[in-house]
A and B are shown apart, each in its own frame.
Chain A
Amino acid sequence: MTTDTATRPETAAPGQDDRTIATDKQPLLDVQGMKIHFPQTKGFIRKQTQWVKAVDGVSFQLQAGQTLGLVGESGCGKSTSGRGITHLIKPTEGRVILNGEDLEDLAPEDLRQRRRDMQMVFQDPYASLNPRLRVEDILAEPLKAHGVTNKAERRQRINEMLDVVGLNRGFALRYAHEFSGGQRQRIGIARALILNPKLIIADEPVAALDVSIQAQILNLLKDLQADFGLAYLFISHDLSVVRHLCNRTAVMYLGRIVEIGDTEQIFSNPMHPYTQTLLDAIPVSNPRLRRERVILKGDVPSPVDPPPGCAFAGRCPEAHARCREERPQLQAQGTDHQVACHLHDPA
């Protein structure tokens, strides 16, 4: 870690700040000061001019069997974070530690092996399944890639998985286009689970589904977690879904976590003005509770050259001079609640 570590206690000293808050157990996933910067090029010779700081110093821990929700609006870096953790995109900086092993230290073949333990489920079940493959081929692929060569064994595992996600075994011979969105997402989940992973990174898995189907998939995810002791990193823009599914919640804004902690604490006592406005913006399903709300002005600023102080200062109703100059750091505000906001910083 480099330059600004000195001003960022949450990444500078892993083992103190964040870890005292979580339990003593070794976390399944430990992300420390992860940054993912993309070069921006200009002109014919692709001269590199600027950096897009998509993820700019993200740290959190996830215990086995738990769910952490990563929420934020489009462009906040939540999906890029998910890809950084699996090393589908290699982080520019920082560490991703899975089961005590730093993924950075692993040889490519070892990294491929470790991916058995962490699988992804994607948003669009129409785009993430190969239309030319039968369901059984889609599900056999990860098994083949990880050395299950016996065909009968694969067939049995596929049948078990179809049972687990609530699909008819007869579906194995059909093609993806024959299924509805909800059924496709079940196939996507079966593909992720077939190698017995410990961690599922689910990127907006229910965002494309109808309400009644969304409830089916959310319940399935809960059941699977209870049955197999899975940990989920649940990436979503939908706070209602996150509250329903996640033990802990991290709110991201412009590449950084601005508030993280126990889900109930964050929803019942949101401390960051951004979290407060996000919660306030959710339409309430009761016409008797229609209310005046604080409407945020403007859009998320560009992650190219973000402002020097707090990234939210330009839209924040409570911003003051310090917010525009000094970037606030995550500070503990209770047993499991951290906020990066000068309003809650005694200094």
Chain B
Amino acid sequence: MTSVSDAAPGSDAPTLLDIRDLEVRFRSDGREVAVVDGISFQIRERETLGIVGESGCGKSVTSLSIMGLVPNPPGRVAGGEIRFADRDLLTLRERDMRRIRGNEISMIFQEPMTSLNPVFTIGRQIDEVLHLHNSLSNAAARQRSIAMLEKVGIPRPEAIYDSYPYQLSGGMRQRVMIAIGLACEPRLLIADEPTTALDVTIQAQILDLMRGLRDSTDTAIMFITHDLGVVAEMCDRVVVMYAGQVVEEAPVDDLFNNTQHPYTLGLMASMPDASQKKDRLYAIPGQVPLPGSVERGCRFAKRCEKVMDRCRQEAPPLYRIDDTHTSRCWLHADTHEPINVERLQEEPSP
């Protein structure tokens, strides 16, 4: 495996997914802009990594790049590496990629109604995944599909196997999506806002289910969400993205209790809290800049409370706060060492 230099204390699992300097560009109005602009992070085996950010930060495009599903045109992966279990996904042929997709890496989406095919039964849609990746008889596939439905907590799995998506509630559909996602026992599950469209009591059921499945299988999870509460409950480590870049990365406890980047601080302060009354919320002023619209300086400078002259002139590098914690902000310039991302691999282990 490549780099274990930034392994969390107590975690020495090998790296499963290693993204380096990923750049994804989209063409719009005759101009090509970087939507994901030099992102690097790793996911270890059996780890749950949270990716947090608001709309337009590039979190969903990052996951599409991993799956090899960036729509081209208008988009293209313009640079970087995505290594998955020692293969570079960006150079794989389409037929090899198809073997990985759904089998070794699978994905579940926010809106289960739009990702399930309304004209096929639930059973047929799970069977399809099993048939694509394994040579199973129809009877064996049916048996395994029903077992999967049972595993994700669906009551009367035999009856649901023959039902259509519209006959199920939102929570049930999301369970079916998870069953499809996990049918081939993938090594990495990408969950893109899997509970955002659900009610809180159903969200609690689904999160509980995902925790249980994670603990009983060896699946690593990349959990994309805008909800810091969900991150706190589910993730081991967190990457915070803003305008196509990683601005902070830390183990979940550090992210919440030793927050470094002003954007992460702003996000936390702007969340209303059901467990205590805040008189007024902190609101990050302004809005996320359009891709390619910040010509120089820090992309967050315009909205930042702690902005300095330097922030408007020069883009800050990532600074190493400690072994496992990085933050992209000039505030750390006097106290911490910057990381040269390209050189990370050669850096001596601390």
Contact = CB atoms under 8 A, between A and B. Distances in A.
Contacts of A284: 229, 232-233, 275
B308 interface: no
A215 B281 contact: yes
Interface in A235-256: 237-241, 243-245
A296 B204 contact: yes
A249 to B, nearest CB: 11
Interface stretch (B12-20, B79-87, B282-290, B328-336): B282-290
B230 interface: yes
A109 interface: no
B256 A244 contact: no
Interface in B230-256: 230-233, 252-253, 256
B280 interface: yes
B253 A288 contact: yes
Interface range for A: 35 or more
A235 B201 CA distance: 18
Nearest to B225: A283
Interface string A246-281: 000000000000000000100100000000011111
A296 B280 contact: no
Contacts of A285: 228-229, 231-232, 256, 268, 271, 273
Interface of A: 73-74, 180-183, 210-216, 218-219, 222, 237-241, 243-245, 264, 267, 277-290, 293, 295-296, 299
Contacts of A280: 204
Contact of A243 (B170, B201, B208, B272): B272
B201 A278 contact: yes
A174 to B, nearest CB: 16
B282 A215 contact: yes
B284 A215 contact: yes
Given A244-B278, A285-B256, A211 B270 contact: yes
Nearest to B276: A243
Listed from nearest, the 3 A-B pairs whose CB atoms lie closest are A283-B229, A215-B270, A73-B199
B277 A264 contact: yes
Contact of A295 (B205, B267, B285): B205
Contacts of B281: 215, 218-219, 244
Interface in B195-237: 199-205, 207-208, 226-233
B238 to A, nearest CB: 9
Given A284-B229, A284-B233, A218 B201 contact: no
**Which of A215, A238, A283 is most buried by chain B, counting CB atoms within 10 A of its CB?**
A283
B257 A240 contact: no
A237 B202 CA distance: 12
Contact of A241 (B171, B253, B272): B272
B256 A287 contact: yes
Contact of B283 (A73, A212, A245): A212
Contact of A240 (B55, B205, B274, B288): B274
B267 A211 contact: yes
Interface string B90-121: 00000000000000000000000000000000
B199 A212 contact: no
B43 to A, nearest CB: 18
Given A212-B267, A212-B287, A293-B204, 9 more contacts: A211-B226, A212-B283, A219-B280, A237-B200, A243-B272, A267-B274, A281-B203, A282-B229, A282-B274
A124 to B, nearest CB: 13
A237 B198 CA distance: 10
B232 A287 contact: yes
Contacts of B199: 73-74, 237
B21 interface: no
B297 interface: no
Contacts of B226: 210-211
B11 interface: no
Nearest to B52: A211
B54 interface: yes
Nearest to A216: B283
Given A282-B200, A288-B253, A290-B232, A243 B283 contact: no
B277 A182 contact: no
Contacts of A293: 204
A296 B233 contact: no
